[in-house]
Amino acid sequence: MSIELHCPQCAKLIRAPDEAGGRRGKCPYCKNSVYIPTPPDDSGDISLAPLDITDKQKEEALRRESIKFASMVDHETDTKGISDVSATEQDAPVVPIAAEDVDPAAEVESFIRAMRDSRLDDADAAADRLKAAGRGARKYVRSLIAEGTPPVVENVPPPVVTGFLKSLKDRLG
């Protein structure tokens, strides 16, 4: 069996005897000095360590535990909101907000801050208050988008604020 390699100078295929492996020789075509690598070892593939089943079992147990924990947290959050409301608050009538009681600038900022903090319920509430305020609030939001200079809200880049405003405009109709 011989060692096959390509000359780095002329790129021609060279065949060298196995005994020449690990030494330098000359390319028969361009006479460039060439390193002849040692022949590959035919000892076979390197076997991998067997899979440790206990690792897989531990991983599956941790996955189940995290799902169970998340389910408990979700359940506690759902029931906590219900039990914290007193009977008088549950029976209290819903009082509509008058359009003149809504400050569009404050509500828009409230909406953007809620979106920034991923408090979607608060963002929905701010959007509902703006929607109840009517045409004036819609006009205000549209003017903020049209001006191209969105309000400055801490830790929110202007392009993100503009995106939030467009989302709000779509909600308001």
- Considering the entire predicted model, what is its pTM? 0.43
- Which tokens go with 118? 């991923």
Largest Cα separation within the chain, whole Å, is: 100
Compute the C-alpha angle 64/69/75, nearest 5°: 125
pLDDT, residue 43, reads 59
Q: Give the count of beta carbons closer than 10 Å to the beta carbon of residue 114.
A: 19
**Angle 135-147/104-116 helices, nearest 10 degrees?**
60
Confidence band (pLDDT; 50, 70, 90) for 26?
very high
**Angle 158-172/135-147 helices, nearest 10 degrees?**
150
Q: Compare 27 and 79 and report the one with higher pLDDT.
A: 27
State whether residue 118 is helix, strand or coil.
coil
Please give the Cα distance from 123 to 59 (Å, whole number). 38
Closest listed residue to residue 21, CA positions, set 31, 12, 10, 34: 34
* Predicted confidence (pLDDT) per residue in 93-149, tens digit: 444 445 556 788 888 888 989 998 988 999 899 888 888 888 888 888 888 888 877
* Predicted confidence (pLDDT) per residue in 55-84, tens digit: 778 888 888 888 887 777 766 655 544 444
Confidence band (pLDDT; 50, 70, 90) for 85?
very low
Confidence band (pLDDT; 50, 70, 90) for 153?
confident
